[in-house]
Amino acid sequence: MSSPLFDPYPLGPYTLKNRLVMAPLTRSRSRQPGNIPTRLNAYYYAQRASAGLIISEATQVSQQGQGYAWTPGIHTPEQVAGWRLVTDAVHAAGGLIFMQLWHVGRVSHPALQPDGGLPVAPSAIPLQGMAFIANEQGEPELVPFVTPRALETAELPDIVRQYQEAARNALTAGFDGIEVHAANGYLLDQFLNSSTNQRTDDYGGLVENRARLLMEVVEAVCGVWGSELVGVRLSPEGTFNDMGDDDPEALFGHVASRLNDFGLAYLHVVQPEIAGNATVALADPNRRSIVKMIRGIYRGTLMVCGGYDYRKAARAVEIEGIDLIAFGRLFLANPDLPERLRQAAPLNKPDEATFYGGGGKGYIDYPTLRQQRGEAKLPDFARLERELLAAG
């Protein structure tokens, strides 16, 4: 098929080979102990290097920022070395990869926190549901969330510093840029939204105040990378992780407008019907699209994600003024997604049972079209997994 989706796109100093982006995807497969990326992770990312851009899975900026078992970090030398395997493999395969920087805030559990402390948040408001942790035997376990501790105003510079150090580490690890995760109910989104931010200091109340921490983080990481290599991800009107805001149009209109001033690589917006790894019904499907509103305000490169197929993606770039489309579940199951879309070929279905944790199964063993058609050799995936993990 022919569509501007397959055309090169200029992004900062780079030329993306197409407008199809691999969305950040939590897969919980880092080496333990230490949450360290492995050669298996490197192989998985390199398999997907035909994306115009890869965004790494959400990566905790500090131990305090971890919220799920086995997610990788970017705050120790071992993690930086592990990520170097990933960036080298992606570059050798001709790809580009940004790292997504993540602090989960209240979406955590003492089992994942330094010294078993309470997770931190803008306000001491718990979310409903269960945290995904590993128990003493290293088995996955779901345990109820706890009420987080509200951060003191004096602690907020340290949060900014966590992102800044992680940004420096991402540079050392060989990434091509970074994305600040300010979506899906994690720390920066908890500051943005009125349902999770009841602060009475300069970081709560008016939208300008609730956006302050995000702006400070963005400024700090732009100081490390230069703004043209920094993206920001938002999920306006998203409900995942118990989120909500009294007036999302005012909030996200303000945020989009402030982000104009930075000259970022891109703004990345998650469609509101995406909740984590699932698509949910919108409360009011007739409501004006918040993505459309943001497109009217934000002047730079706009990336969208959530529930796109070829037809919707083509329409978004051809008619809706969207610049880049990120695909999550489709890229997870189709390492050669751009080629499949170009050929209008059938797509592999993602296997939810292997989304989080485990090894190569449901990770590196989704075949390419050429492998399925017998035009390329199908590797012995079990053996490949063993070799990759043995190599360290």
Catalytic residue among 163, 186, 298, 363: 186
The residue within the footprint of ligand 8OZ, chosen from 30, 62, 184, 348 (CB under 6 A), is 184
- Under rule CB under 6 A, residue 190 binds ligand 8OZ: no
Closer of 18 and 79 to ligand 8OZ (Cβ): 79
Interface mask (CB under 6 A) for ligand 8OZ, residues 129-168, using x and -?
----------------------------------------
Nearest approach in angstroms of CB 280 to ligand 8OZ is 13
Residue 186 falls in the annotated catalytic set: yes
HEC string of the chain?
CCCHHHCCEEECCEEECCCEEECCCCCCCCECCCCECCHHHHHHHHHCCCCCEEEEEEEECCHHHCCECCCCECCCHHHHHHHHHHHHHHHHCCCCEEEEEECCCCCCCHHHCHHHCCCEECCCCCCCCEEEEECCCCCEEEEECCCCEECCHHHHHHHHHHHHHHHHHHHHCCCCEEEEEECCCCHHHHHHCCCCCCCCCCCCCCHHHHCHHHHHHHHHHHHHHCHHHEEEEECCCCCHHHCCCCCHHHHHHHHHHHHHCCCCCEEEEECCCEECCEECCCCCCCCCCHHHHHHHHCCCCEEEECCCCHHHHHHHHHCCCCCEEEECHHHHHCCCHHHHHHCCCCCCCCCHHHCCCCCCCCCCCCCCHHHHCCCCCCCCHHHHHHHHHHCC
Q: Per CB under 6 A, does 276 bind ligand 8OZ?
A: yes
Q: How far is the CB of 275 from ligand 8OZ (least distance, A)?
A: 8
Q: State which of positions 230-249 bind ligand 8OZ (CB under 6 A).
A: 240
> Shortest CA distance to 3 belongs to which of 356, 333, 344, 384?
344
Cβ of residue 7: shortest distance to ligand 8OZ, in angstroms? 28
Q: How far is the CB of 278 from ligand 8OZ (least distance, A)?
A: 9
Regarding 271 and contact with ligand 8OZ (CB under 6 A), the answer is no
Residue 59 beta carbon to ligand 8OZ: minimum distance, rounded to whole angstroms: 9
The nearest distance, CB 129 to ligand 8OZ, in angstroms, is 12
Site string for ligand 8OZ, 65-84 (x = CB under 6 A): ---x----------------
Peptide bond into 140 cis (omega under 30): no
In the bound state with ligand 8OZ, the residue whose beta carbon lies nearer, of 176 and 189, is 189
> Closest CB to ligand 8OZ among 5 and 304?
304
Q: Does 277 bind ligand 8OZ (CB under 6 A)?
A: yes
Q: 136: which 2 tokens?
A: 């003493």
112 binds ligand 8OZ (CB under 6 A): no
* Tokens read off for 97: 């990869």
Among 11, 22, 46, 58, binds ligand 8OZ (CB under 6 A): 58
- The residues that bridge with 55 in the sheet, in sequence order, are 98
Q: Is the dihedral of CA 363, 303, 163, 251 positive or negative?
A: negative
Interior CA angle at 13 toward 12 and 19, to 5°? 60
Q: Which of residues 212-231 bind ligand 8OZ (CB under 6 A)?
A: none
Nearer to ligand 8OZ, 26 or 38 (CB): 26
Among positions 7-46, residues that touch ligand 8OZ (CB under 6 A) are 26
State the number of binding residues for ligand 8OZ (CB under 6 A): 7
**Active site amino acids:** 186
Note the residues at the interface with ligand 8OZ (CB under 6 A): 26, 58, 68, 184, 240, 276-277
